[in-house]
Amino acid sequence: MKHLGFIRVAAAMPRVHVADPAANAREILQLCAQAAGQQCSVIVFPELCVTGYTCADLFGQNRLLEDAEQAVASIVAGTASLGAMVVVGAPLRHAGRLFNCAMAARGGKILGIVPKSYLAGNSEFYEPRWFAPARALPGGCARVRFAGQEDILLGTRQLFRIGEATAAIEICQDLWVPVPPSSQAAIAGAQLILNLSASNDYLFKHEYRKSLVGATSSRLYAAYVYCSCAEGESTTDLVWAGSSLICENGAFLAEGERFARGSRFICADVDVQRLDTLRAKEHSFGFEGPVPPYILQDAGEAAPTDFEACLLRRIEPHPFVPQGNPEELELRCREILAAQVAGLTTRLEHIRCKKAVIGVSGGLDSTLALLVTALAFDVLGLPRENIIGITMPGFGTTHRTHDNSVDLMRELGITAREISIVPGVRQHFADIGQDESVHDLTYENSQARERTQLLMDVAGKEGGIVVGTGDLSELALGWCTYNGDHMSMYGVNASVPKTLVRTLVRWAADNKFDTTGDIHRTLLDIVDTPISPELLPADAEGKIAQKTEETVGPYELHDFFLYHFFRSGAGPDKLLFLARKAFDGVYDEPTLRKWLETFLKRFFQQQFKRSCLPDGPKVGSVSLSPRGDWRAPSDLETYWKLTV
C-alpha cells in the first residue's frame, strides 16, 4: 500500500471523568479503537486526560497517582492490537517531584515520556502549585519505571519516528511561550508537532489560539496537531470547549466542533513529503545555531492506510484561484494586480520611459497586460494616449477577437493602431520557400515572430518599451514562439497562471471599471472567448478553429500539475494521485494520465525558452524566472519521459 508521503493523524477528545482514571481509560480506549478503525497512525489525546486536568489539590493524593499509573498501564496494553502510536497525558512522580507528562505508546509498549516544559501559573492557572517543570529533572532526563515497564526515558529531547514521519511532543503552555520547544524539535527533524492541551475557552481566545497554531506550523514548515480537553472537566471557574486543530504549514485540515458533547475525534492526512520539500527549499531553516541532540524513538511503520480509497484532506483543483471564499479572492486579485502595476511603474520610472507598446489580440493575456499598463500609467500620471496598442490581424484572426481588441483600446483611451501581418508574413514565406497552404509550425511561428518584430520596431521608433503578455502557464508548457511572443522588454504576466489570468480580468471588469459601461461588456466577452493564438485560419463560420486546450490540454490541469510539481516537489505518481482526488468526477484517469504526460514532456523539453526570459514581477509563490525561482538544465534526455 503506497503512502505517497501521507500519514493519517487524529486528535481525540474523550469525555472526562475528573479524578476517575479507570473511567477515563475506558473512554480513551474506545476512541483509540474508533480512530484506529479510520486507519490513523497517530492518535493524540488532551493534557492530563487520564486523570482530568481540573483535579487541583487531588494531584497531591497518592491514590489518584496510583490509579493513574494503573490506567496508563491498561491504555498501553490496549495499544498492542492497534496500528497507531497513542499519546496520552498523565501525571508522573519522580525524584520527589510531580511532572505533567505526555506518554507515547505503541504495540503495548511505552516508547517515551515527555514532561511539560513551561507551566501555566498566571490568572486562573495554578500548575506550579502541583507540578515541576521539565528543567527540574536532575540531569535533564531520567530512566524511570512506570505502568509496569522498566527503563523508560523521561525527558523533553525525544522524537518519535513512525513510518516516514517524525513527531515531537509539547504540552499546552509550551506553545504560548516566546521560544516553544517545537522550534528546536522541528530543526532536529520533526515534521509533526503533537500538543496535548487543556486550554479553557473565553471570548476570542479560540481565534488567538488558532492564529498561534497556524503561525507555528507555517514558521516550522510542520503539521501541528493540537488536542484540547472537552466535556467533563470541572467548570468551577472555567469552561472547556474541546478546541482541537490539525494544521499543516498554515492550512487547517481539520477543526473540532467546540462545545460539543460526548467523546469524539477529528483526523486528517498530513503530507510529510511536501513539508520536507518546503524545508529543503528554505535555506535559512535551521541556521539558528547548534541543536542539542535528540533521542529518536522508533514507533515502527505507519498504519496501513488506504489513501486511494479515502484521502482526509481536500485537494483544491484550482490552487491559484481560491474557491468559495469571496473575501480571499477579492484580496488575492487586488494584491496581484497591485503587484503587477508596481512592477511596471518601477521599471518605467527607472529607465525614464514614458511610452509603452503592447500587442492587443482580444485574448485574455493581452487584455490583462493592457489593463495593468493602463493602471500603471494612471499611477505615474502619464496620459493613456502614451500607450500604443496594436492589433495585428493575421490568417486566423476572427471578428470576435478583432472587434474586442479594437473596442477595448478605444474604451481605455489608449492610442490604437492596426497593422495586418498578412503582407509581411507572405513576403517572408516567399523568402524562405514556405507554402502558405501548409499549416505547420513554420506557418504559425512566422506569424508570431512578425508580430513581435512589429512591436519591437514601433517601440524603438516611439521611444517606448514592449510590454509582454505571455503568462506563467504558457511558459511552463513552452506554448510560445521562441523570440516571438516569448520575448518582450517587461513581462507583466510572467508569474500569473492562465486560470488566474481569467479570474483577474473578470475581477477587474467588476471592480475597476463601470459595470454598466461598454468596457465591462467587452471584458466579460473576452473572458468567455476560447483561448487561442489564432495562428490557423478560422472555421467555415468564421469562428476560432485553433483552440489551445484541445491541443495541449486543459489549463486547469496544467496549472494544477505545475503548482504541486513546483511547490511540493511531487513526482509523476503523486501528481496523478492528487489530480484523481481533485478532479474526481470531472476527468477520468486516462485523460488525467494523458495530459500529465503532456505536461511533463513539454515542461522539460521547453526549458530552453525559460532560460532567457525577460524581466517580470513575481506575484505568487510559483514562478519560473531563471534568475530567481527555477534554474534547470535545458538538456534532459530522460527525466520528462518518466511514466506514471
The residues that are catalytic are: 47, 116, 172
User: How are the residues of the chain apportioned to helix, strand and coil, as percentages rounded to the nearest 5?
Assistant: 40, 20, 40
Q: What distance in Å separates the CA atoms of residue 442 and residue 434, rounded to the nearest whole number?
A: 8
Count how many residues are written for the chain. 644
The answer to whether the beta carbons of residues 59 and 19 sit under 8 Å apart is no
Strands ordered across the beta sheet of 415-418: 415-418, 387-391, 356-359, 465-468, 490-491
Return the C-alpha cell found at 343. 512592477
The contacts of residue 513 (CB under 8 Å, 6+ apart) are 519, 520, 523
Compute CA distances 170 → 8, 191, 300, 330, 467, whole Å. 19, 13, 21, 37, 53
The contacts of residue 173 (CB under 8 Å, 6+ apart) are 116, 118, 119, 120, 125, 127
The answer to whether the beta carbons of residues 556 and 318 sit under 8 Å apart is yes
The answer to whether the beta carbons of residues 454 and 484 sit under 8 Å apart is no
Q: What distance in Å separates the CA atoms of residue 384 and residue 337, rounded to the nearest whole number?
A: 18
DSSP for 267-319 reads EEEEEHHHHHHHHHH-TTTTTTS-----EEEE--SPP---TTT--SS---S-T
The alpha carbon dihedral of 138, 144, 146, 152 has a sign of positive
